[in-house]
Structure 1
Amino acid sequence: MTDDTAQKKTDSIAKAKKDSITLDSINKAKINYSAFIFPTKKKDSAMAVFNKQFSEEERYTILALNRLDSKNKWRADTLAIPDKIDKSLMSYTPFPTHLDILKDVKKIVFFSYPIQAYSLYENGKLVKWGPTSMGKKSAQTKRGLMFANWKKELAISTVDSEWKLPYNVNVHNTLGIGWHQYDLPGFPASHSCLRLLMDDAKELYGWVDTWVLNKGGATVKVNGTPVIVFGDYNWGGKKPWKKLIEDSAADNISVEEMNSIIQPNLSKILEEQKKRDEYLTTVPVSKEKESA
């Protein structure tokens, strides 16, 4: 390859990255946000107006954008209201819609502490994102690369046996960390697990691949879907989704930031994916499910 050809290739890659970033910016700029305020002394009347002004589907979307579920809407003081309602939430994604670095990664999950949100990618394409409530300050969720282990449609919390955890997917067996449905109060509140809305928990439960254990169940034969938890929450600071009212890109995560998080883990992710692919070529799908 000549120096001129190499330079053209470098310029082409740089342009593609710039175009990807620009496309994300254009898509997100289409959404504007206004504030719906719940005055402390008139909260009930403001809530009545909110319930009347917006349909059930619209309220679901608005609350999700503000990291709340319907059970916890009473916690709202100010809600960021988008000028377009999209129940899939894809119109509002703070995550890049494409990540070229992940083109060879079949599936991966990200959980962002700073913006309390998760995202799913398939071969570098964002397929879903949504709100979460991660570990509170005194019981923070472990950061870094993990893998989906086992899953259970209804698990019981090891912290309190009265806590029922629908669609639980374990990602750290020894620490007992997993994602599942539970309250979303608008801030990190869990005991290190990753809380989701019911619809999201159910969908992720069906989407994720779990581990396969060796005979006897003592060791892992192949890992499940990779999961990366990253970043730090601004404890006591203004919640980034509330900043959307002034800046519709306030909670955006750039392609460069995502690349910096992925790059140190990419070889391990691809290595584990290769092991799983090789295993699946030798074992019937039905048997693989039995081993999970």
Structure 2
Amino acid sequence: MLGLALLLPGLAAHAQSSAPAPGNIAPGNEAAARSDTTSSGSAPRSSGGGYIDQTAVKDILKRRARSLDALPEVYYDYYVLDHPNDNSVLARNIFYHELGDGNVKKGEDRAKLVELLNRRLLAHTEMGDTLVVPTEFDLDFRAYSPFPRYYPGARTLPKLFIMHKGVQAWAAYEHGKLTRWGIINTGSDKNPTPSGRFSFNWKQEYRVSTLSPPDEQWEMYWVFNFYHARGMHVHQYEMPTGGPTSHGCVRLVNADAKWIYNWAEPWESSKGPIGPQSAQGRITAPGTPVLVLGENPNGTPKPFEFKRRYPILKRLDLPSAPMSVPAGSPRQPSEHGRSPHLPSLPQTSPTLALGERLPTRPPQTSARSAGSPSSRPRRSTRSRPSPPCRRCGPSGRSPRSGCPASRRGCRPLRSSSPREKCTCRSPRRRSRSAPAESRAPRAPRTRR
């Protein structure tokens, strides 16, 4: 059980005149509701008039079109609840009848979209309230998005997750293309959600909040952490329509939380991506980038600009370079994609012009003097093969009567008859490094 709150139409009379009943306060929001309630008994800002039926909006969020280009442009109109008898119940029935083109049941299903866009439940409306109604229904939910359908600055990013506190909404992009969007509840003014650039870290399907009171468990589903040091997550929880209301985490409806849990990439850790113990391992790569933009709205979120003739959906301006947004936590990649806690990437070789040669590496010198004997290259001690005797030739035998061993210029190598087999080689060559003047003069040869 996810503990989803269902709204009853009979609570409409108490929507804006009194504080919400204790049963309608989400776990973890009792203290905020008591502190925000004034002495006159007015409703707290975080209540906003009830909670979203997360089961009813599931079908609206999962509708998908063939492509973004196939989605039509949606416009909006005003609708004022009114009835001659001043009966709000009858005024809502007329509204359902008009939305469904004569079918009340169909109008009630379409009214769920109106509630999501207005951040207000029809059961908590009164006579004379004005609603914003789209001109097109039963479309892909991306057709009603305040985020741009295409984000050129995120074209090079495989995935990007954005949360905007001003309109209380999130968006997921793949290579700059809007994949999905939805509504959120960020941290209250006393416990705001930090702004900046983050990354998804570890995730956990079910978790009990560490801030739970002793007599109650605040159960969270589809938890995905994006700031480990401060314990900030996105997760499923009860969704008030009034906007910022949490202790810093970001609340989602169940369908969106489960989709994000399976869509986003966690960090790469030697201890795996599941649970906070993942942070104890060696982090080798960050997860999907996360941007938290904007500031908390003054009151309930207002996604529309109310013009005189018709309302206009506010289109959000996103940063031209998402990775240039200042980092909100220490473990974030730089603007060029390099992370401070990861080893730096090897530098690529420089590009050479036509005809240019690679620079040669300078010779490495030791700490000793460059002119010392130890720093000079050593000459190889391996003996070079000597050429064969000029008289005997390469065959090893003398072309005439043999090779006399006593002949000057040959030395016998084996104790064999010089006339049967020549085993001589040329004499060792003298070093060419020594100059001719340094050679000892040869003694004159005398006859005996």
TM (norm. structure 1) is 0.70
The secondary structure found in structure 1 opposite 2:204 is strand
Partner of 1:234: 297
The secondary structure found in structure 2 opposite 1:65 is helix
Amino acid at match of 1:116: Q
Question: 5 Å matches for 1:143-292?
Answer: 143-160=195-212, 161-186=216-241, 187-214=243-270, 217=278, 218=280, 219-236=282-299, 239-243=301-305, 248-254=311-317, 257-259=318-320, 262-264=323-325, 267-268=334-335, 270-271=337-338
Which structure has the bigger radius of gyration? Answer: 2
8 A contact 2:265–2:287 mirrored in 1? yes
Most deviating of 97-106 and 182-191: 182-191
Shift of 1:50: 5.6
Aligned sequence identity (%) = 26
The secondary structure found in structure 2 opposite 1:199 is helix
8 A contact 2:81–2:95 mirrored in 1? no
Equivalent position to 2:169, from 117, 120, 143: 117
Shift of 1:260: 6.2
| CA gap 1:244/1:263 in 2 versus in 1, 3 angstroms | farther
- Distance in 1 separating the partners of 2:291 and 2:110: 30
8 A contact 2:267–2:287 mirrored in 1? yes
Could you tell me which runs of 5 or more consecutive residues in structure 2 were left unpaired when the two chains were aligned.
Answer: 1-67, 97-103, 272-276, 327-332, 346-448
The secondary structure found in structure 1 opposite 2:319 is helix
Amino acid at match of 2:293: F
Shift of 1:182: 1.7
Amino acid at match of 1:174: A
Amino acid at match of 1:213: S
8 A contact 1:65–1:131 mirrored in 2? no
The secondary structure found in structure 2 opposite 1:84 is coil
TM (norm. structure 2) is 0.48
| CA gap 1:47/1:180 in 2 versus in 1, 3 angstroms | farther
Partner of 2:157: 105
Amino acid at match of 1:173: H
8 A contact 1:61–1:86 mirrored in 2? no
8 A contact 1:121–1:127 mirrored in 2? yes
Could you tell me which runs of 5 or more consecutive residues in structure 1 were left unpaired when the two chains were aligned.
Answer: 1-23, 279-292
Most deviating of 99-108 and 260-269: 260-269
8 A contact 1:33–1:245 mirrored in 2? no
Of Structure 1 and Structure 2, which has the larger fraction of its residues in strand?
1
- Distance in 1 separating the partners of 2:260 and 2:250: 12
Q: Which has the higher contact order (CA 8 A, sep 6+)?
A: 1
Shift of 1:33: 3.0
